[in-house]
Structures are given as C-alpha cells and as structure tokens.
Amino acid sequence: MTLPRLRGAQARGEKVAMLTCYDATFARVLDDAGVDVLLVGDSLGNVVQGESSTLPVTLEQMAYHTRCVAQGKRSAFLVTDLPFGTYEASPQQALASAATLMRAGAQMVKLEGGGYTAETVRFLVERGIPVCAHLGLTPQRVHAIGGYRVQGRDDSGAAALKADAASLADAGAAMLVLELVPSARAREISMAHPHLITIGIGAGAGTAGQVLVLHDALGLTQGKRPRFVRDFTRVPGSAADAPGLSVAQAVAAYVAAVKDQSFPDEAVHGY
C-alpha cells in the first residue's frame, strides 16, 4: 500500500480501514486481515504502558514500536504519531523528530492540532515527509480542552474546525484524522477537501475511512468503553456468553464493516 494507492481507493469510493498497531506479531495479523493503514499511535502510552494519558510517551519509544511494526508488516501503509513535545517548538524540531520515525520505518507522520501546525505541516511536506493531521479531540491537549469531550458542537467550534482543516489541506497534509466531532461536521470537511484522506474516530460515517485503537476493537477496553467503539470479537446477534471470534477473524470483521459501511452505525455511534 502506498499513498497514491490510498488516494486511488478514496477516488473510487472505497473506504480506508486503519487500526493502531504496536508490535511485529500484530502487524502481520492486521496486514493479513486486509487493514490498509497501521497507525503506531501514542495511544501505546495507555494500552501498552498503562499510563493515564499519551503525554509520557517519548520519541525513542515511538521509534522502537515503529521499527517493530515495520518488521512485521507486509504491505500495509505505516503511519506514526509524533509524540507530545517533539514538534511544537519549531518546524526544525518537527523535522528532526519526523526523520527519526521515518528512519525507523514510518511512511507518514501524524501530528495533532490546527493553527500554527499548518506551518510545520508545510515545512515537512516540502522536505518529502508525508503528514497526517489530527483535529477534534486531540489527546495530547486533553488538559487544555477539558477532558475527552466531543469538539465542534457549537457554531464557533464548527467554524474553527473547518478553518483548521482548510489550512492543513492547503499546507499539504495528505490525511486528516477527525476524532470525536459531530458527524455532520466530519462529512462537510470531507466533502470540502476531496483530496484529503479523512479518517474518522467517533466522527460518523462520512469520512474516507475509519480508525480504532486495536485494543478497543478487540474488546479489551479498560474502564468505560467509548460510545463509538464496537467489540469486533463478538458475533452480531449472539448471546453474551457465546464464543467470540479469534483476533484474526475480529480484525477481518472490522475491515469488512468499514468497507461495506456498516461501521460506524451513526444511529449508535454518531454525534
């Protein structure tokens, strides 16, 4: 999988299936199940390290997990998060951090936020580094935005989302994760920027693709399960105590549900 092939799939109306991944074994399983994009997310701070947020994750840790996933995958496209504190100071800092991740095997880096990040996105893209932006709920800024809450509900929030998406698209971002935003807003942004591969998480079905944290998709959520999450190990319509699907089968079910657009169900997962 390459960026031009992802763009081609989007142009044909094919949904893009993305999952987080942190090691070589799961990389092979997800790749074999047909996942288009593997995201080495700084969510590893939560699900691998047991931290309460993504903030403690370091660049060295992200590079290590990127290298592990790159060793295990066969064909899926590989995106890695730039962790907190490794790109905000200057575009030059972002370039040095992105180079570390690209050397470890990433094919694209992801950074959070709008506004000033457009300058950084442009700086990276001009130097040959593909960028995935991230708007809506941005976990690295969870303390500043007051917790894990839906973003862009009111008129001012919606206007800010649209303006940020436009500036990031103009700066050359190739992909945009929209997290916990109203489905109508995500659809509007996706339609306004057809060359931007929009990936939703808790943002309805109007985006070009979907992403989930792998552990959530496998029913391993610790604490309260987010509204937008589905446990793909459960056979639809089966009793609660019925045997579940294997990991490989669950991942394949996720891919199929994204592709046939039965996930997310906006009646259940929309905002």
- At 143 the pLDDT is 52
- At 60 the pLDDT is 98
- Catalytic pick among 88, 119, 179, 188: 179
Phi–psi pair at 209, nearest 5 degrees: -165, 180
Cα 201 to Cα 52, 170, 245, 246, 250: the distances in Å are 20, 23, 23, 23, 18
Q: Is 112 a catalytic residue?
A: no
3-state secondary structure the chain: CCHHHHHHHHHCCCCEEEEECCCHHHHHHHHHCCCCEEEECCCHHHHCCCCCCCCCCCHHHHHHHHHHHHHHCCCCEEEEECCCCCCCCCHHHHHHHHHHHHHHCCCEEECCCCCCHHHHHHHHHHCCCCEEEEEECCHHHHHHHCCCCCCCCCHHHHHHHHHHHHHHHHHCCCEEEEECCCHHHHHHHHHHCCCCEEEEECCCCCCCEEEECHHHHCCCCCCCCCCCCCCCCCCCCCCCCCCCCCHHHHHHHHHHHHHCCCCCCHHHHCC
pTM, two decimals, is: 0.93
- At 153 the pLDDT is 72
CATH code of the domain occupying 3-269: 3.20.20.60
- At 236 the pLDDT is 79
- Residue pLDDT tens, the chain, 271 long: 999 999 999 999 999 999 999 999 999 999 999 999 999 999 999 999 999 899 999 999 999 999 999 999 999 999 999 999 999 999 999 999 999 999 999 999 999 998 889 999 999 999 999 999 999 987 776 655 555 556 667 788 889 999 999 999 999 999 999 999 999 999 999 999 999 999 999 999 999 999 999 999 999 988 778 888 999 999 877 777 677 899 999 999 999 999 999 999 876 655 5
Question: Domain residue spans in the chain?
Answer: 3-269
- At 70 the pLDDT is 98
